[in-house]
């Protein structure tokens, strides 16, 4: 978790540790997490995405943001329909397929639109550009969420083979959603 935490924590407390470039996703300006818990739903094949979800979970808790960590296959439509804010982290296997931890969700829940007009979300998609359908499942999840009326806080962030710059963009976007009051009141230790 060490490589994921330092830049995110610095962004959370307002220190600019992330170099911005022309390809960086702009930080969210006006949106912030609501007082209700943030759902963190993840699906991994090798464990990397689960590590990122756990790191995001711990860091949001340290900032005073309540979270609920859930494997994507364990998330049903009723729970999702009752959730106002979520962060999705998912990998893609082979040529655009969902990881094992998301197969049931993809096959059973993503076949029809769901009433998610109230949902705001962020999405991190991990993949490998060596495949034709880079981040294919992440893109499919993003398209399904949008088709259900959910509103993204920021564009889907694609990660090619654990690219550090893309992960920094993810952490910066998540940090931008933390209300400054929560960040200022949170005891953060390096």
pLDDT of residue 39: 97
Assign residue 101 the CATH number of its domain. Answer: 3.40.50.360
User: What does residue 116 show for φ and ψ, rounded to 5 degrees?
Assistant: -120, 30
| CA of residue 103 relative to chain centroid, distance | 18
pLDDT at 9 over 50: no
**The predicted structure's pLDDT at residue 190:** 41
In a domain, 28, yes or no: no
Give the pLDDT score at 82: 95
DSSP states along 71-120: EGGG--HHHHHT-SEEEEEEE-BTTTBPPGGGHHIIIIITTS----TT-E
**What span, in angstroms and rounded, lies between the C-alpha atoms of 15 and 90?**
28
Q: Does residue 29 fall inside a structural domain?
A: no
Cα-based angle 143, 148, 154 (whole degrees, multiple of 5): 55
β-partners of residue 91 are 126
**Is residue 189 included in any domain, yes or no?**
no
Q: So what's the pLDDT on residue 186?
A: 47
Residue 33 in any domain: the answer is no
Domain annotation covers residue 121: yes
Is the confidence at residue 27, as pLDDT, over 70? Answer: no
Q: What is the pLDDT of residues 132-182, one digit of tens each?
A: 788 999 999 999 999 999 999 999 999 998 788 999 999 999 999 998 645
Q: Select from 172, 126, 181 the least CA-distant residue to 23.
A: 172
Q: What are the tens digits of pLDDT across the range 45-98?
A: 999 999 999 999 998 998 999 999 999 999 999 999 999 999 999 999 888 899
> Are the beta carbons of 83 and 119 closer than 8 angstroms?
yes
Average pLDDT rounded to a whole number, residues 5-30: 39
Give whole-number Cα distances, 57 to 103, 106, 136, 139, 159, in Å: 23, 23, 24, 23, 19
pLDDT in the model for residue 1: 36
pLDDT of residue 180: 65
**Number of domains the chain is built from:** 1
Q: Which of 3-7, 114-118, 147-151 has the lowest mean pLDDT?
A: 3-7
Q: Is residue 32 part of a domain?
A: no
Classify residue 25: in a domain, yes or no: no
Rounded CA Rg of the chain = 16
Placement of tokens 């998301």 in the chain: 102
Q: Mean pLDDT across the stretch 32-41?
A: 92
Residue 188 lies in a domain: no
Segment among 23-27, 81-85, 113-117 with least mean pLDDT: 23-27
The predicted structure's pLDDT at residue 166: 92
CA distance 134 to 166: 14
């Amino acid at each position: 978790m060490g490589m994921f935490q330092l830049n995110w924590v610095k962004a959370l407390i307002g220190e600019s540790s992330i170099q911005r470039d022309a390809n960086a996703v702009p930080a969210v300006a006006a949106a912030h997490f609501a007082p209700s818990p943030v759902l963190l739903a993840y699906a991994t094949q090798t464990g990397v995405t689960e590590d990122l979800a756990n790191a995001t979970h711990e860091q949001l808790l340290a900032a005073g943001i309540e979270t609920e960590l859930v494997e994507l296959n364990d998330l049903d439509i009723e729970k999702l329909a009752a959730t106002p804010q979520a962060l999705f982290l998912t990998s893609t296997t082979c040529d655009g397929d969902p990881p094992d931890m998301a197969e049931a969700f993809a096959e059973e829940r993503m076949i029809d639109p769901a009433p998610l007009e109230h949902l705001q979300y962020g999405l991190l998609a991990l993949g490998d550009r060596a495949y034709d359908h880079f981040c294919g499942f992440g893109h499919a999840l993003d398209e399904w969420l949008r088709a259900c009326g959910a509103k993204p806080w920021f564009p889907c962030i694609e990660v090619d083979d654990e690219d550090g710059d893309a992960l920094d963009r993810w952490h910066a976007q998540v940090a931008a959603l933390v209300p400054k009051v929560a960040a200022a009141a949170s005891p953060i230790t390096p």
